[in-house]
Amino acid sequence: MPDSSNLRDLVNRIGREQHERILSGSWWHSIDLGGSLVTEGVHAIDELKDNYERFGLPADLTGRSVIDIGCWDGFYSFESARRGARVVAVDCWRPENFFTAREALNLDIPFHELSVYESTRDRLGAFDITLFLGVLYHLRHPLLALERVCEVTREVAIIETHASDNLFETEHPVMEFYEIDELGGQYDNWWGPNTSCLVKMVRAAGFARAEVIRRQASRAVVRAHRKWERREMETAPSLEIRRAVNAVTMEEEIPRRGRRAFIDLSVAGLPLQARRETVEVEVGGFGIGAIYFGQSPDPQRAGTTQINAPVPPGLDPGITDVVVRFGEKRSNEFPVRIVDAGEW
């Protein structure tokens, strides 16, 4: 936080009119700029701090990287930086309030004017933590957006959105569509998933698992993980991956993205009780759910189980390992070649 003299210098530079605008209530986030200067946003500081605490992120983020996609006024970016993180902020337009607050707080937080669809690992890199708050329901292509979020996330993403649980008394995954301005009178609100739908979309986008950390009538918060939950594993592998090929072409090279980015595994040693929902595939350290589990019609693969899985978003081209787990059982590390096919 800046000292009071720095804050006075800032106020002098921006002038009385802009200073009054800071305090005028035109902010979405309330942000403590120090020296008793607080932006009176629609959401109070105590509410925003409580939201952040509920994310379950470490109090000390020193050495960690955070990307805030849809940063708006920037409270969550600034709070992450206050906890020691290296932060990058992204929004689809240039929110002037963000730059005013960033200057007042004297924080070195790079900003990128990009849509979430443009927020790729190739362009921005990968981050330990992704914040994706209050954005999903504004998007015409929500599943594509979640794939982009997954791609830039190394460990965990916090995803918060408008939800439609108050409309659908069911755990069946459903999503309401808003053609024009049915939600809040805004033309850029498109979708209202219920929480069950949100969880399944998160997994379909490439996250290994998703946990609901807050569920209200019209809001939901999900913590999405790139890795399977840690547990004790056997010391020596009892499962054996005998083959790993491109599930579309049956060739050894596997595209890291696109319509052919699927892996076909032949695994020996899985017990009869194993199912698609209970096996865990890991590629390059990232967990990914299986989309097919069963016996292969190929007689050369007799005695093995066929498991097909998408390539997890965010892999770099090159040789990496595939592992399959079931309970405490694990397979050998089987090398596969991930290639940049340049195709979607």
Could you tell me whether strands 219-225 and 318-326 are parallel, antiparallel, or unpaired per DSSP bridges? unpaired
The model's pTM is 0.90
Give the span between the Cα atoms of 21 and 39, in whole angstroms: 9
User: What is the pLDDT at residue 221?
Assistant: 98
Fold of the domain spanning 240-339? Immunoglobulin-like (2.60.40)
User: What is the pLDDT at residue 117?
Assistant: 98
Q: What is the mean pLDDT of each run of 10 residues along the chain (344 residues)?
A: 46 47 72 87 94 96 98 97 98 95 95 98 97 97 98 98 89 95 92 97 98 94 97 95 96 94 97 96 98 89 94 97 97 97 60
User: What is the pLDDT at residue 104?
Assistant: 92
Give the span between the Cα atoms of 308 and 331, in whole angstroms: 15
Tokens read off for 244: 């790993």
Tokens read off for 310: 């998408």
Residue 124 has phi, psi (to 5 degrees) of: -110, -20
User: What is the pLDDT at residue 129?
Assistant: 98
User: What is the pLDDT at residue 261?
Assistant: 96
User: What is the pLDDT at residue 23?
Assistant: 54
Tokens read off for 51: 């939201």
Structural domain boundaries of the chain?
4-225, 240-339
Give the span between the Cα atoms of 55 and 32, in whole angstroms: 20
CB-CB contact of 209 with 225 (8 Å) = yes
CATH value of 4-225 in 3.40.50.150, 3.40.50.450, 3.40.30.10, 3.40.50.12280: 3.40.50.150
Give the Cβ contact number of residue 319 at 10 Å: 9
